């Protein structure tokens, strides 16, 4: 494993709640943020950092990802929890951050709305299914 590890949405929330240096990075696309919803950390006095791992609408990798993380204030001192839709893109994001020296980079398994179930629907697992705070943009 080339990043710090995988955590559940509930574990991520606990880390955000207890560690003042913990940061949540939503690496989905602008379209997903706008139409699906976003994690809401207001109750913790924190704000989610939004940096696309893959650019919308062309689907190309964001070659400025690490630079944009740093511009958003993410440093080596942070514990960084990456979330995407289902917990796959966030692995790549955590790996890229760790390779850039942000070694406390974690992937949130099942992401914001989880993978497809047997009926090809999302939402039975992930951040929203865990009833963690979120809002529509």
pLDDT in tens, the chain (137 residues): 699 999 999 999 999 999 999 999 999 999 999 999 999 999 999 999 999 999 999 999 999 999 999 999 999 999 999 999 999 999 999 999 999 999 999 999 999 998 767 777 777 679 998 999 999 97
Residue 106 per-residue DSSP state: E
For 1-137, where are the E strands, in sequence order?
5-7, 22-26, 38-39, 49-50, 79-83, 105-108, 134-135
Domain boundaries defined on the chain? 5-135
Helix (H, G, I), strand (E, B) or coil at 105: strand
Tell me which architecture the domain covering 5-135 has in CATH: 3-Layer(aba) Sandwich (3.40)
This model's pTM is above 0.85: yes
- The partner residues of 52 in beta bridges, in order of sequence, read none
């Amino acid at each position: 494993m080339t990043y710090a590890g995988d955590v559940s949405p509930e574990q991520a929330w606990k880390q955000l709640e207890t560690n003042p240096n913990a940061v949540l990075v939503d690496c989905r696309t602008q379209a997903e943020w706008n139409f699906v919803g976003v994690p809401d950390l207001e109750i913790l006095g924190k704000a989610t950092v939004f940096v696309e791992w893959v650019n919308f609408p062309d689907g190309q990798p964001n070659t400025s990802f690490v630079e944009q993380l740093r511009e958003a204030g993410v440093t080596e001192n942070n514990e960084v929890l990456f979330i995407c839709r289902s917990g796959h893109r966030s692995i790549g994001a955590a790996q890229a951050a760790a390779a850039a020296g942000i070694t406390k980079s974690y992937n949130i398994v099942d992401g914001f709305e989880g993978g497809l179930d047997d009926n090809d629907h999302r939402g039975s697992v992930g951040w929203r299914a865990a009833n963690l705070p979120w809002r529509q943009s």
